[in-house]
Structure 1
Amino acid sequence: MAPHDDDDDHCPAEEPHPHRSRDLGFYIVLFCAVIPLWSVPPLSWAFVLYSLHTGAIWTYAWRGTTLFTMALVEVFFSVYHYNVSRFVSGPSPIGAGNLVELQAAFKRVLQAGLASLPEEGFDEETLNVDRPGSPNESIDKLEPHDARAVDFRNSLRTWFGKVPWSHIHRKEMHAWLYWSIFNAHLPALHLIPAPHTKVLSEALEMIERRSGKPIPEGSNPAAAPLLLTLDPVNVAWRPFGWYAFVGAGNTLMRHWFTSHWGWGMQHGAKDGLEYLLRVPRGWDARTGPAPVVFLHGLGLGLLQYFPIISHLLRELSDAPLLIPLQPHISQQVFHPHFLAPKGRKETAETLRALLVELGWASDEGKVDEEDVEVEVESPGSKGKGITMLSHSNGSYAHAWMLKAHPNLVARSCFVDPVTFCSWEGDVCYNFLYQRCTTGLQLVMRYFVGTEIGVANLLQRHFDWSSNSLWYEEIPHARNPARAKFFLGGNDAILAADRVKKYLTSHGVRKGLWYDPAGTHGSALAGGSAGFQELMRWLKEPGQ
């Protein structure tokens, strides 16, 4: 244990993470929803084995036979689910990535919060600086009690289960750094290749300068780091009946959206990317409203997002609407691409090609992905450029498009964006690691976080450097007509107050809608003030 510093008693980074008792809502969800669903596979096994062992199956009437058949289906599906779970629990397939790019991203993480930016932001009308707080800060050694160092320590300890900062020792910090840079477990020090040793030493030195304190030698297993793509995949089984319900619901929703008595959308595919598309009759790319691309988040797919999609179709009746379908985060277990989510470059290129095919963009003005800070004044569309709307996990794909093809996106709208400040670990910790104490947390953990497709995406295909979006990568971020951000103060997944601070300190003010009482997804709930503001913004012409 590190020597005790009396001043640490007053340091937020040294405060123990509070232990909260489970509320009534947790137990209501546990006994009324989670346990009943979780119990279906083992009860099915018990019933099938009993029926076969006793020979009772030969005495069943049609009701008993039907029940036995349903139980047998659950038995076979549980075997399939078990094997798929073992498959996704293998090594992460994404590899270590580009070392130069990762080093640049890691340096950018350490530069965050170093600039002397006012927390309430700049005056958007009078600020003459295009990029306030651009990544040009040098990572000098901070004093231990410097507010920037304290905030950094308090934030970074999230990756270590929110233990007091002084409990984190070098071995655990080395393990976390090695994962974040090389996506691998830390080998014995004498087995680390010399180039990796150099990178690791430089990273640790920058951490110590940025945190204002040296990392104690030795090891403290109680402060083990969260290694998202290396830790065991947490999958909770669920019955075939659940997947059948979700699959049937999504199929019905898709047919409803594409039917003549529904909305008459088209269902298509481009290089493995399925989508729903509505182009109003008579729409003109040069004179009509800008097309809207909606990127949904984790959950139940069309079944979950049916209300907001219906509102978009109704409220934006004269604008084209494109909805990429994402089966890997929609619990479509029998879809051929369920366990093969597209990565950053593949997704961005496929979307770009689709926009070109639709006539919403051209290949002219294509921007190199490595030159992400270049802003193209004329959108790469044949018309006015597209409006990209994303929710939650959809903000990752939104970020990928802005990094690769910022000239194609004329306007950006982020609702509950998990792409900002994701390097701080709050989203990872809240969604996958923290102990559930409320009914909402348990719903998110069992029905979403531990679903096999979601677990495969987040715990084996997560690329933190690709998924992190920085202020300077958002074209026209301070123009409220071109960029809009919706946050809820009671969001149980992301640290909305920290995202708000990050955006406002860089000059985003009028473009930020912050509801102190809002929860994750409340801005998409019809009738809410956030939803009304969202519809108003989508309807107004971009400037």
Structure 2
Amino acid sequence: MLNNTWSEYLTIRLVILFLHSLAPLCTVYTLTLLRRAFFARRFSQPVFTTPFQLYCAAETTFFAFTLWYRGRLQREAVHPPLRSKEDRKKLFDKVRSEIHDPQKFLQGWFRGAKIEEIGREDLREFLSWAFFEARTDDESEGELEALVGKVEKMMGSSFKPGKGGAKSLRLTLDPIEIQWRSLLWYGIIMLVDTIVHVRFLVYGFGYRSTRGGSLSVFPPRPLPAVTMAVGKRSPAEGISYWVKRHTSTTRLPVVYIHGIGVGLHPYVEFLHEVDRATNHGHDAKDQVGIICIEVLQISSRLTHSMLTRADFLAQTTKILNHEQGYNRFVLISHSYGSVFSTHMLTDDTMSKRVAATLLVDPVTMILHMPDVAYNFTIRKPTTANEWQLWYFASKDPGVAHTLGRHFFWSENILWRDRIAHLVENGIRVTASLARRDLIVDTEAVGAYLMEKKVLDPVVVKEGNGKTKMELSVNEKDGREDEDWKVRKWKGKGLEVLWWDDLDHAQVFDNKDDRRKLVEVVREYCTNE
């Protein structure tokens, strides 16, 4: 993630301007050539004769496809099965128990609107999405009305009838907003993907491709296609991965799941350093294995839709059963990868296989609060890192579709009492949090994990129209009690690694910072 300097700000704005303007400019040029050919009646001769003209024609064709594809992404989400009435009540009661000020909570989910701008019908629509995935029927109307009444009781007043002027955040229902990508951009992604593939092969990893391989992904993946032809296939039909064979009988292997971005490029050195730290000096019969799962839907690619929670768990189980020695393992994830970690940790069968977990920049804690959804999808960018997040992550077609049609908050949230249950059953948990994180309010997450009370979402409005969603912590507990930030890491129970000078994902940029994460992984692998 970029720092907030003027040079980086100007650079990212110029890069975005170039990439975003390229396809429209090529389209204008191509249409001009076609217009000239039409009026000159020269269609018997080639219209595009130079490499540059051919390139512009290709960009124009892809731009037209992108505009069509943007409309296709708007199709309705396929929601998970509805919870039972009893489970919905438990979920509502759980959320209510985590809220101190319901007024600020609602204002956060309604994009900072004033309470008087929220009508009763607006509240019904929000609650219908939050607890029924907007699938209420005649039988559940009474239940929904009861929830509205409970909210009004929490508020101490009734909402005005009908609709107000406020609009709530409803990720899986709201229109998906994307920014088109040029062929040049996807060409860069293909180059980066090829470099990553070579680096992993040099570091001794093996690739396991799905049956569809590179044929179901754009841009094409030439090296994975070759590897698929001569190598082994993934036992899971929808998940490709990198693997180093596990042979140790005394130490645990590692499973890694990456976050949103350009794929595995930012993590190659980290995984290589984990490999060296755990295996240097050990013979071939005492090697710690590593599985690194690819999630192409959040890797600046065009491919099939994100797997459902059930499909992900089923296919990951196939992989773990297929590879030797993964009955117990150390789970590591970064950013959006914490969604998949949450799926594994909240599944009673899968969680029994997890001995310890390192969650780097996790986004699934306190997910019932609106700050992550707001900062990732609604906030208008003003700084270098915000523009980087906005264009290269939030508005990427695959990422936007994943968040807008496959991100179900109640399925992805990791409650603290679930973490406490896991720790009581022997799983060690470390959360790595960066103070300057532009997506997650890490101060609040750290306080939440260390049993301080997280309270209210607050839309912070600054000059030049800049807004950010933050959370506040109970004044009685106070943020001044921050000894958890400087506690020595011991490798026991639930712990936090705090990075005071880092932003989201920057812990992977520097070898000295990565070293601390590597030490955590080595300890978890060595001493169960």
TM-score by length of 1: 0.75
Q: Is the 8 A contact 2:354 2:427 kept in 1?
A: no
- What is the total number of aligned residue pairs between the two structures? 446
Match status 1:279 vs 2:229:
no
Instruction: Give 1:220 deviation, angstroms.
Output: 5.7
Q: Does 1:97 align with 2:54?
A: no
Code of the residue aligned with 2:382 in structure 1: it is: T
Find the counterpart in structure 2 of residue 116 from structure 1: none
Give the distance between the partners of 1:164 and 1:23, measured in 2 at CA: 34
| 1:267 matched residue in structure 2 | 208
Equivalent residue of 2:333, what SS? strand
Q: Is the 1:34–1:446 contact (alpha carbons within 8 Å) kept by the matching residues of 2?
A: yes
| CA shift for structure 1 position 489 | 1.5
Q: Name the amino acid aligned to 1:86.
A: G
Identify which of 420, 424, 430 aligns with 1:484.
Answer: 430
- Offset of 1:221 from its aligned partner? 3.9
Distance 1:483 1:95, change over 3 A: closer
Contact 2:117 2:166 in 1 (8 A): yes
Distance 1:520 1:64 in 2: 47
SS in 2 for 1:387: strand
Shift of 1:442: 1.2
Aligned 1:445-460 pairs, distance under 5 A: 445-460=390-405
Contact 1:169 1:215 in 2 (8 A): no
Check 1:96–1:222 CA distance in 2 against 1; reply closer, same or farther (3 A cut).
Answer: farther
Tell me, in whole angstroms, the C-alpha distance in 2 between the residues paired with 1:104 and 1:442.
39
Higher mean displacement: 343-352 or 449-458: 343-352
**Structure 1 runs, 4 residues or longer, greater than 6 Å off:** 478-481, 506-509
- What letter matches 1:512 in structure 2? V
Give the corresponding residue for 1:398. Answer: 341
1:538 has 2:521 as partner: yes
Is residue 204 from structure 1 mapped to residue 148 from structure 2 by the alignment?
Answer: yes
Alignment partner of 2:256 out of 284, 290, 294: 294
- What do residues 242-276 of structure 1 show as CA deviations (whole Å, max 9, x unaligned)? 01211231133123313xx4424333422221010
Tell whether the 8 Å contact from 1:522 to 1:528 is kept in structure 2 after alignment. no
Pick closer, same or farther for the CA change 1:249–1:178 going to 2, 3 Å. Answer: same
User: CA separation of 1:27/1:386 partners in 2, compared to 1, >3 Å: closer, same or farther?
Assistant: closer
- Normalised TM-score (structure 2): 0.77
Aligned to 1:325: 294
Q: Do the aligned partners of 2:152 and 2:159 also contact (CA within 8 Å) in 1?
A: no
Residues 542 and 478 (structure 1 numbering): CA distance in 2 closer, same or farther, change over 3 Å?
farther
Is 1:518 the equivalent of 2:502? yes
Q: CA deviation at 1:102?
A: 4.2
Secondary structure of the residue aligned to 1:276 is: strand
Alpha-carbon distance in 2 for matches of 1:481, 1:399:
14
Within 1, Cα distance between the matches of 2:164 and 2:276? 55
The one-letter code of the counterpart of 2:519 is R
Question: Are 2:132 and 1:182 equivalent residues in the alignment?
Answer: yes
Other structure's SS at 2:355 match: strand
Q: Which moved more, 1:477-486 or 1:153-162?
A: 477-486
Which residue of the partner structure matches residue 213 of structure 1? Answer: 156
Match status 1:500 vs 2:482:
no
1:44: Cα distance to partner?
A: 0.8
1:222 aligned counterpart, secondary structure:
coil
The correspondence for 1:306, drawn from 242, 249, 268, is 268
Q: Distance in 2 between matches of 1:39 and 1:80?
A: 16
What's the CA shift for 1:417? 0.6
Alignment partner, residue 462 of structure 1 = 407
Q: Is the Cα contact below 8 Å between 2:203 and 2:272 reproduced in 1?
A: no
SS in 2 for 1:414: strand
In angstroms, what is the RMSD of aligned CA positions? 3.0
The answer on whether the counterparts of 2:435 and 2:502 sit within 8 Å (CA) in structure 1 is yes
Mapped pair 1:424 → 2:389? no
Q: Is the 8 A contact 1:153 1:165 kept in 2?
A: yes
Identity %: 23
- Cα distance in 1 for partners of 2:14, 2:430 equals 39
Q: Is the 8 A contact 1:29 1:442 kept in 2?
A: no
1:249 aligns with 2:207: no
- Is the CA contact 2:244–2:289 (under 8 Å) kept in the aligned structure 1? yes
- Give the Å deviation of 1:96: 5.9
Aligned partner (choices 442, 446, 459) of residue 387 of structure 2: 442
Whole-angstrom distance in 2 between the partners of 1:45 and 1:77:
10
Match of 1:171 in 2: 121
- CA shift for structure 1 position 26: 8.7
Q: Cα deviation per residue 1:386-415 (whole Å; 9 max; x = unaligned)?
A: 000011100010010111121010101111
